[in-house]
Amino acid sequence: MPIKTFRGKLADDTQDTINLHTNNGLVGYRIKKFQLVSDKPGIGGNAEAICKIYTQEQSAIDGLVDFSDTTLLAVAILAQSSDSWISYDTVVFDQMVFNQDVFVTFTDEQGNMAGNYYIEMEQVMLDLNEATVATLQDIRNTG
């Protein structure tokens, strides 16, 4: 299936919406790649940035990572120091299929660094039953 790519830049403690919904919900997506890059790699001070992708809009942006949260689709963590070292880690729950908008959050726990994200999503065609299940899971996760 085709791969769709999305990229953006987020300031500290902000959120982006990636519009994926369709009228009939028969197009689903699965995250294949998620990367995070500082807007000033190797320059500046210390940073501990956390970028997350959710199926639901977040009322608060935080650096907490909870794998039991069923709305969490992916997490990317970037740490850099003024000593010029950079560390990355990414976890993608690539078996989760969704057909609604997703929300990308970004926070820097050490300062106010901005971050760039890059996402590759595999587009999958859903039959009516799969589309209904994906939509109902999204509704269930809001409660």
**For 96-123, how does the pLDDT look when each residue is reduced to its tens digit (9 = 90+)?**
899 899 999 999 988 888 999 999 999 9
pLDDT digits (tens, 9 = 90+) for 15-62: 999 999 888 888 999 999 999 988 877 666 677 899 999 999 999 999
Tell me, what's the pLDDT at 52? Answer: 97
Whole-model pTM above 0.85? yes
Instruction: List the domain boundaries for the chain.
Output: 3-142
Measured between alpha carbons, how far is 92 from 67 in angstroms, rounded to an integer? 11
CB atoms within 10 A of CB 36: 22
Residues 6+ apart with CB under 8 A from 26: 99, 125, 126, 127, 128, 131
Q: Are the C-beta atoms of residues 106 and 115 closer than 8 Å to each other?
A: yes
Structure tokens at 69: 């949260």
